[in-house]
Structure 1
Amino acid sequence: MDAHCVWEANAQLGEGPVWSPSRDALFAVDIRGSRLLRYTPADGTGRDWPLEEAACWLVERADGGGFVAGLRSRRLVGLTLDGDRLSVGPELMRLEEDAPGNRLNDAMADAAGRLWVGSMDDAEQDASGALYRVGPDGSVARVDEGYTVSNGPALSPDGRTLYHTDSPSRTIHAFALAADGALSGKRVHIRFGEDDGYPDGMTCDAEGHLWVAHWSGGRVSRFRPDGTLDRVVRLPVSNVTSCAFGGPALDRLFITAAAATTTHDAPAGEPLAGGLFVCTPGVAGLPPGRFGAP
């Protein structure tokens, strides 16, 4: 199975795809390019907005007040779109005030309205990153640590398993997730080999399979709940960053990619690097979570 490019967004570091049912659009961020990205499948158009400070992820708010965005400076802010007019609201909270070399990298919301937020060393050298749980009431708990480049997280359909990745170690971990948000039983779920590249962003489908983007691997792989490989989606670019299900039926898999990293441009011969890709894998995804009281 292959994916095709629907928008040559030329994202330096496309990340954080999230489907917005209320807007019938796929949103993502270009972290290195400091842009908000939107793709509307109904008319096949892409739109971007410059940001004064790079956003690393977006999650819709349960109160209908737009999005909450995680900024590079580890601040969480409100973000709204009134038509095509973008507004960035005041700071909601700040994580890791004692870690100026870190930035946020990936996040998702669960069915209880909690945010799961990862941080990382912006220089990608030290294991200074962590995983946080942010409650709908604004409470913050540091629930795991020791990440150099945190990625994911993703949840199983029953909400009882949380997956989270440390990309440089090529390892996806699984945790048992209790109803109150407590994590336990951390274990290695999937370990990538050198030929696989590095596990990056990921999402679960309605059948409980995990879809994982391969940075420096040119593909997205679907893994069974036991961690074994089920199938592969090939892309014409090397640095595949993340994926999310979207469309009215949540049956299209949108895939982001990168045209450049901190120190490197995309490999030669990849004119679609940094584009937004899509495939129809024959399985539906899960409704995207929203931050705030359900």
Structure 2
Amino acid sequence: MPGSPPNAPCSMRASICALTCWCSDDTRPIRSATPRSSMRSGRARSSRPRPRSPRKNGSPRPGPHASRPRASRSTARTGPGRSKSGSPAGPCGSIRSSPPRSGPRNGRAGDCQSPARGYPRGMSAPVAVALEPCSTGENPLWHAGENALYWTDIPAGKLFRFDPADGIYRKVYEGEPVGGFTVQADGSLLLFRVSDFARFDPATGSLSILRTFRDEGMQRFNDVMADPEGRVFAGTIGTDDRGGGLYRVDTDGTVTRLFRGTRVSNGMGFTPDLRRMYWTDSTAKTISVFEYDRATGSLANPAIVHAAGPADGTPDGMVVDAEGNLWSARWDGHAILKIAPDGTVLERHAFPVAKVSALCFAGPDLDQFYVTTAGGGRPESQPLDGALFHLATGTRGPDRFRSRILL
């Protein structure tokens, strides 16, 4: 199915007219580190009001309960999104938001990148940079060749491109749902759809199907990831609790089933030494590690390294940083978790939405996160449900490998 032209407009809820920077004093992100005591040492402050001297002009000072203008807690730009021409964007059109122009600048309040209360040094609070109300925003992927980010709204069958340089995002594809995609070695995108994978050129909108594929119990492709040799590990969602699984697509287009036995196969990542691979089973709410053979692409000896707790939400998308720690997005968990290789939860970073679906390292130094969310476009949705978020990480991650399928 041909994709839509690259300049197709993207929709926006008219009720959302301001970029939201979630870094006010009312937020209380949670970490595993011991919180500071709410009581300071020393004497308690007196509750009696201090006497005030009259003003020099003789007018009385306002009382303690007099209304005063309050500055907005958001340090991001407010007002409606704007198109490339600078005019306010209506319900349709390319939308301008306010991400950092050249990556996070710690200490600059205007970019909302100063260390937020409750966050580790170097980490920032999440900022909504694209207010697209995605039903299931997923698969954020940084395209280093374009210095741009792509992500999908799976049920809507849409693929978006966000340019951090000007803060504009636009729809580049609309058609059959895209469960996951990779960047190919030639810079094109490899879309894994319901029953095929296809090469897509965002600049022209051209799409060519490379292979069709269906397996028993398979509903559609889901999260995918390229390996160092250009193969692709592709997860699927099943029609029942045992129909989903994990497949390997070799560079010649051959598809091999590795295993089945879950309903929702999800996020993956390699250890820094490329000897092991993590895989998320959203149905069982676990993350497992496999021995990975780079020469053959085979996986062996799976072992569960992390099982989600009752209040953790469901593990969804995942990345691994340069130090070997896992970062797991939590569906219905309001958070992303930083997890040690042994499965210990090191940090929990709260989000203002419940369904946090996936994340990726991005930026010239791969020291930023873009995070997708879900739940938008419904009567019960909150204003930020389904938005794309940005935050500084305080760490770095490897770039995703590029696929070389049938090139």
**TM-score, normalisation: structure 1:** 0.91
How far 1:50 sits from its partner (Å)? 4.4
Equivalent AA in structure 2 for residue 67 of structure 1: L
Matched with 1:278 is: 390
Matched with 1:109 is: 226
Decide which structure has the larger Cα Rg and report it.
2
Output aligned runs, 1:222-241, within 5 Å. Answer: 222-241=338-357
CA root-mean-square deviation: 1.8
Matched with 1:77 is: 198
Does 1:52 find its partner at 2:175?
A: yes
Does 1:93 find its partner at 2:205?
A: no
Equivalent AA in structure 2 for residue 22 of structure 1: G
Q: Secondary structure at the match of 2:253?
A: coil
Pick from 318, 324, 338 the counterpart of residue 208 of structure 1. 324
Q: Secondary structure at the match of 2:283?
A: helix
Kindly provide the CA deviation profile for residues 157-198 of structure 1, in whole angstroms up to 9, marking residues without a partner as x.
Answer: 211111111112111111110122111111111100121110
Matched with 2:306 is: 190
Output the CA distance in 2 between the equivalents of 1:253 and 1:266: 29
Matched with 2:64 is: none
Q: Secondary structure at the match of 2:390?
A: strand
How far 1:30 sits from its partner (Å)? 0.5
Contact residue 9 and residue 46 of structure 1 kept, 8 A: no
Pick from 123, 141, 148 the counterpart of residue 256 of structure 2. 141
Equivalent AA in structure 2 for residue 7 of structure 1: A
More strand by share: 1
Q: Secondary structure at the match of 1:10?
A: coil
Matched with 2:241 is: 126
How far 1:230 sits from its partner (Å)? 1.5
Output the CA distance in 1 between the equivalents of 2:205 and 2:386: 23
Kindly provide the CA deviation profile for residues 51-97 of structure 1, in whole angstroms up to 9, marking residues without a partner as x.
Answer: 22111111011133x1110002x210111122xx32221x2123334
Equivalent AA in structure 2 for residue 54 of structure 1: P
Percentage identity across aligned positions?
34
Q: Secondary structure at the match of 1:287?
A: coil
Contact residue 120 and residue 129 of structure 1 kept, 8 A: yes
Output the CA distance in 2 between the equivalents of 1:249 and 1:258: 27
Matched with 1:247 is: 363
How far 1:236 sits from its partner (Å)? 0.3
Equivalent AA in structure 1 for residue 237 of structure 2: M
Contact residue 258 and residue 266 of structure 1 kept, 8 A: no
How far 1:110 sits from its partner (Å)? 1.2
Output the CA distance in 2 between the equivalents of 1:284 and 1:225: 16
Contact residue 216 and residue 243 of structure 2 kept, 8 A: no
Equivalent AA in structure 2 for residue 12 of structure 1: S
Contact residue 259 and residue 266 of structure 1 kept, 8 A: no
Contact residue 35 and residue 48 of structure 1 kept, 8 A: yes
Change in 2 beyond 3 A, CA 1:97/1:167:
closer
Pick from 132, 144, 151 the counterpart of residue 9 of structure 1. 132
Contact residue 56 and residue 105 of structure 1 kept, 8 A: yes
Matched with 2:9 is: none
Does 1:257 find its partner at 2:380?
A: no
Contact residue 196 and residue 210 of structure 2 kept, 8 A: yes
Output the CA distance in 1 between the equivalents of 2:150 and 2:310: 31
Does 1:199 find its partner at 2:309?
A: no
Change in 2 beyond 3 A, CA 1:266/1:248:
farther
Change in 2 beyond 3 A, CA 1:277/1:129:
same
Q: How many residues align?
A: 282
Output the CA distance in 1 between the equivalents of 2:163 and 2:186: 23
Output aligned runs, 1:171-182, within 5 Å. Answer: 171-179=286-294, 180-182=296-298
Output the CA distance in 1 between the equivalents of 2:213 and 2:234: 10
Output aligned runs, 1:28-47, within 5 Å. Answer: 28-47=151-170
Contact residue 266 and residue 273 of structure 1 kept, 8 A: no
